Amino acid sequence: MRERQILDAAVQVFAEHGFHQASMDEISDAAGISKPMIYTYLGAKDELFVACIRREAGRLIEAIGEAVDENLRTDEQLWRGLRAFFEYVNDNRASWTVLHRQANIQGEPFSGELAEWRDRAVALIAALLTRATAATEQPVQTEQMEPFAAALVGAGESMLDWWIDHPEHTADGLSRRLMNLMWLGFGDMVQGNRWKPPS
C-alpha cells in the first residue's frame, strides 16, 4: 500500500539523518512517491514523523507482547520480554534509532508522542512486577513500583546503545546480564533485604 511505502522510506531516512536533517525531498525520493502524495496520505512533516513513531513503537510492543505468555512465571515473562526487545531492536536498527535517538527530543511538536508510549511500557512492567509481589509478605503498590520499572526500561535502552558499539555480544547474553542485575536485586528487595546508606 502507499502508506507503507512512505512510512518505510520515512523511517529509513529519519533514522539516518535525524528529523531535522531529513528533507521531505529525500523521503519522497526514497519512497518513489511524489511529495504532494505524502502530504495527502500522511500530512505534514511532524505528522509523518508521529506516524513513524506510532507504527514502530506499535511493532516493538507487539513483538514483545507476542513473546510473553501471561501464564508464565513473572521472571520468565520478564526474561522473554527482554530478549524479544533485544532481538527486535537488533533486527530493526532503523526503527529503534528513530524511536530512541530522534523522537526523544524535547521542544519538538512531536515530543509528547514518544513519552506516551514510554509511559505505557513503564506502566505495563510496573503492573507485572507488582503482580509478582502480590503473593509475598510485602506486597508493593503499583505506584511504588514505577520508578523501578522506569529504571529497568532505561537500563535496557542504555545497554542497547552500548551494544551497538559492541556487536560481538548476543541478544541472549545481554538479556541474561540484565536479568541477573535487575531480578536478583528485585528479588532481594522483595524479600526485605535492603541496602542501607552508612549512617
To a copy of itself, the closest distance from the beta carbon of 77 in angstroms equals 11
Is 93 an interacting residue with respect to DNA (CB under 7 A)? no
To DNA, the closest distance from the beta carbon of 95 in angstroms equals 20
Answer yes or no: are the C-beta atoms of 129 and 75 closer than 8 Å. no
Residues 18, 33, 87, 150: which binds DNA (CB under 7 A)?
33
Q: Grid coordinates in use for 16?
A: 539516518
To a copy of itself, the closest distance from the beta carbon of 7 in angstroms equals 18
In the bound state with a copy of itself, the residue whose beta carbon lies nearer, of 4 and 169, is: 169
- Which residues does 158 contact at the CB level (< 8 Å), separation at least 6? none
To DNA, the closest distance from the beta carbon of 19 in angstroms equals 8
**Binding to DNA, residues 106-135 (CB under 7 A):** none
Is 3 an interacting residue with respect to DNA (CB under 7 A)? no
Answer yes or no: are the C-beta atoms of 129 and 181 closer than 8 Å. no
Q: What whole-number distance in Å separates Cα of residue 166 and Cα of residue 146?
A: 30
Q: What whole-number distance in Å separates Cα of residue 181 and Cα of residue 199?
A: 25
To DNA, the closest distance from the beta carbon of 52 in angstroms equals 14
Q: Which does 37 bind (CB under 5 to 8 A by kind): a copy of itself, DNA, none?
A: DNA
Answer yes or no: are the C-beta atoms of 88 and 60 closer than 8 Å. yes
Number of residues this chain uses to bind DNA (CB under 7 A): 15
x-or-dash string of contact with DNA, 7-26, rule CB under 7 A: ---------------xxxx-
Q: What is the four-CA torsion angle of 31, 110, 87, 9, rounded to 10 degrees?
A: 0
Answer yes or no: are the C-beta atoms of 35 and 28 closer than 8 Å. yes
State the residues that interact with DNA by CB under 7 A.
Answer: 2, 22-25, 33-37, 39-40, 44-46
